[in-house]
A and B are shown apart, each in its own frame.
Chain A
Amino acid sequence: EAQVTQNPRYLITVTGKKLTVTCSQNMNHEYMSWYRQDPGLGLRQIYYSMNVEVTDKGDVPEGYKVSRKEKRNFPLILESPSPNQTSLYFCASSPRQGTYSNQPQHFGDGTRLSIL
């Protein structure tokens, strides 16, 4: 089954304790992206990756890191989490993305992070 898998689905942790949210897709998609969703603010892009070893900042990259060493995986790293990073996070992938090839994104089920 084609899917985007995020882990964990829920996490409660404390300020400053490094954490990683994993994202994996089995569709051989080139493009992957991370979003955070907060009430009244919609989905805001954190980082995206056009392909392996290519990552770029989205609208709200501060406090986050990503890597794209393999095509299928795109982990989101919070080196020193803070309470303002408490949010619902979504990973998404699509075959390609760009001015002439914008294609629908497939979203994971989401990860709800609470930073105390």
Chain B
Amino acid sequence: GQQVMQIPQYQHVQEGEDFTTYCNSSTTLSNIQWYKQRPGGHPVFLIQLVKSGEVKKQKRLTFQFGEAKKNSSLHITATQTTDVGTYFCAGLSAGGTSYGKLTFGQGTILTVHP
């Protein structure tokens, strides 16, 4: 079945440093979503990428979808303590009969030291 690998599992940064997390799928994706989960909270939707090579920005966050639609990345510029949390990607497989089956990556836990 479809697998989505996310790296790194943990990332510790000093406030002001940049941060990147990567997702790689074993199959071509129809689209990919990114979520953020604050400590003790539930995942909250950040963005969805649909097109091959798509790049979207939200303030200091930049999201990319690979040309082959099998990988994606989230980059945070100049991290702040409010960026702390776990970042997940979630991919929907292209084609097939499992139209509703979303596969999440393992998540990257980001800690930011002030």
Interface residue ranges, A against B (CB under 8 Å): 31, 33, 35, 40-45, 48-50, 56, 58-59, 90, 92, 97-100, 102-110
Smallest CB gap from B1: residue in A: A59
Chain B residues contacting A43 (CB-CB under 8 Å) are: 43, 88, 90, 104, 107
Q: Add 6 more A-B contacts to A33-B100, A56-B98, A109-B42 (CB < 8 A).
A: A45-B101, A59-B101, A98-B99, A99-B95, A104-B45, A109-B41
Query: In whole Å, how far is A66's beta carbon from the nearest beta carbon of chain B?
Result: 13
B103 contact set on A, CB distance < 8 A: 45, 59
Cα–Cα distance between A42 and B23 once the two chains are bound (Å): 13
Q: Shortest distance in angstroms between A22's beta carbon and chain B's nearest beta carbon? A: 16
Q: Mark B84-98, 1 if CB is under 8 A from A, else 0.
A: 000010101011001
CA gap between A77 and B82 in the complex, in Å: 36
A35 to B90, alpha carbons, bound, how many Å?
12
Q: Is B9 in the interface zone, CB < 8 Å from A?
A: yes
Closest-by-CB residue of B relative to A38 is B106
Please state if B9 and A40 are interface contacts (CB–CB under 8 Å): yes
Q: Hey, which chain A residues are within 8 Å of B104, CB to CB?
A: 35, 42-45
Provide the bound-state CA to CA distance between A104 and B6, in Å.
19
* Residue in B6, B30, B43 whose beta carbon sits within 8 Å of that of A99 in the complex: B30
**In whole angstroms, what is the CA distance A43 to B106 when docked?**
7
B52, CB-defined interface residue at 8 Å: no
B13 located at the interface, meaning its Cβ lies under 8 Å from any Cβ of chain A in the complex? no
> With the chains together, A27 CA to B112 CA distance in Å?
35
Complex CA gap A102/B30 in Å reads: 9
Taking a contact as CB atoms under 8 Å apart, the answer to whether A40 and B106 are in contact is: yes
Task: Point out the residues of chain B lying under 8 angstroms from A107, CB to CB.
Answer: 42-44
